[in-house]
Amino acid sequence: MSEPVYPGASWEPGAAAGYNRGRNRMRTVKCHYTVGVNSGALIRNQGLAQWLVDRDGTIHQYAECDAICWDSGEFNDDGPGIEVEYYEPHDGDAIFTDAARDATAGLVHWLHNEWGVPLDYYDGPRVAEGAFSGFIAHKSLQQRPDLQHYDYWPREDWDRMVSGAPPEPTPPPRKRALMAGFLVLGIDGQSVYVYDPNTHSSCLMHTNEVLEAWQNVAKVNGFDASIHSEDWARALLADAEPMRK
């Protein structure tokens, strides 16, 4: 079975995670851009898309790629949605930063290689549900008038995404230890010192960030994720290299 979480994304499950709205057909990937920035909380909490790509190239994943999100009305169960953070520089007109486009390219190739989504992009006149397989601009979906949108990915950005070798997906460094197994060195108020065995270094994180990541790890491995559980206590007491300040 194909992997439902992109390895280059920060896994941050939201309202649509866990298939609580069912599974999509993985036939069509809907291509969006956001209105402004800082849309993550809205997209995650309302289950509006699987992925958000920030302007700096960070990819957030809020639901399994084959889960149903509410990103495109009648097309919700056709496949996943990708939101790329809109960017308009003062010295010209553009939709994506280079970092966002390059990060999205890795996701696009992964969806093709892992899930078999055709590397075809459609941004023409609106089409009905089921009429196209591949990647499709949100503006090209035939929806009822109150649901019609006009966001898309520029053709030149798409061409650059699919040309050449795809970039290798790399998990965000701060999240890597929390996904692979982390060691907590100590707690000081609302801050937690975490040791990353992958980089042999330590970092300071907010308690809520560690708790959220811990709960995600617990969910995947099937054990109790409450802060008072024995698993959490064992994590706090785990042996680790002394923190170097």
d(CA 2, CA 74) in angstroms, rounded, equals 25
Average pLDDT over residues 165-187: 52
Residues 127 and 92 placed together within one structural domain of the fold: yes
Residues 224 and 135 in one domain: no
Estimate the crossing angle of helix 98-115 against helix 155-162, to 10 degrees.
60
Tokens of 89: 């520089």
Do 227 and 156 lie in a common domain?
A: no
Mean pLDDT (whole number) for 3-16 = 93
Q: Give me the CATH number covering residue 44.
A: 3.40.80.10
Residue 116: predicted pLDDT: 96
- Reply yes or no on whether the pLDDT at 203 is more than 90: no
Top-confidence residue, 200 or 96: 96
Range in 23-37, 57-71, 157-171, 172-186 the model is least confident about? 172-186
Structurally, the chain folds into a number of domains equal to: 2
Mean pLDDT of the chain: 77
Average pLDDT over residues 113-136: 94
The residue type at 172 = P
pTM recorded for the entire structure:
0.69
Same-domain check for residues 40 and 121: yes
Predicted confidence band at 142 (pLDDT cuts at 50, 70, 90)? confident
Tell me the residue range of the domain where 64 lies. 10-162
Last residue of a domain, one of 162, 184, 199: 162
- Listed as own residue / partner, the contacts of 90-94 with beta carbons closer than 8 Å and 24 or more positions apart are none
Same-domain pairing of 220 and 132: no
Task: Kindly tell me if the per-residue pLDDT of 159 is higher than 90.
Answer: yes
| Residue 119 included in any domain | yes
DSSP-assigned letters across all residues of the chain:
---SS-TTSEE---TTGGGTT-B--S-EEEEEE-SSS--HHHHHHHT--SEEE-TTS-EEE-S-TTB--SSSGGGGGG--EEEE-----TTS--SS-HHHHHHHHHHHHHHHHHH---S-EE-SS-B-TTS--EEEEGGGB---GGG-------HHHHHHHHSSSPPPP---HHHHHHHH--EEEEEETTEEEEEETTTTEEEEEEHHHHHHHHHHHHHHHTS--STTSHHHHHHHT---PPPP-
| Same domain assignment for residues 110 and 156 | yes
Beta-strand relationship, 134-137 and 28-33: parallel
What mean pLDDT do residues 196-222 have?
Answer: 56
- Does residue 190 have a pLDDT over 80? no
Query: Residue 65 domain-assigned?
Result: yes
Confidence band, pLDDT 50/70/90 cuts, at residue 122: very high
Q: Residue 70: what pLDDT?
A: 94
Q: How far is CA 229 from the centre of its chain?
A: 29
Distance of alpha carbon 190 from alpha carbon 208, whole angstroms: 8
- Percent of all residues in the chain with a pLDDT value above 70, rounded to a whole number: 63
pLDDT at 75 over 90: yes
Q: State whether 74 and 14 are in the same domain.
A: yes
Which pLDDT belongs to residue 93? 58
pLDDT of residue 149: 85
- Locate 138 and state its tokens: 């949100």
Is 242 domain-assigned? no
Cβ neighbours of 72 (radius 10 Å): 23
Residue ending a domain, among 162, 194, 212, is 162
Q: Are residues 157 and 186 in the same domain?
A: no
Residue 127 belongs to a domain = yes
Asked if residue 155 belongs to a domain, the reply is yes
Determine, yes or no, domain membership for 243: no
Return the higher-pLDDT residue of 211 and 182.
211
Indicate the residue among 129, 162, 195 that finishes a domain.
162
pLDDT at residue 202 above 70? no
pLDDT, average across residues 149-174? 79
* Spatial separation of the C-alpha atoms in residues 185 and 39, rounded to whole Å: 33
- The arithmetic mean of pLDDT across residues 184-209, rounded, is 53
Band of pLDDT at residue 154, cut at 50, 70 and 90: very high
Residues 106, 195 within the same domain = no
Task: Provide mean pLDDT across the span 90-94.
Answer: 55
Q: Are both 123 and 221 inside the same structural domain?
A: no
Token duo for residue 15: 């309202």
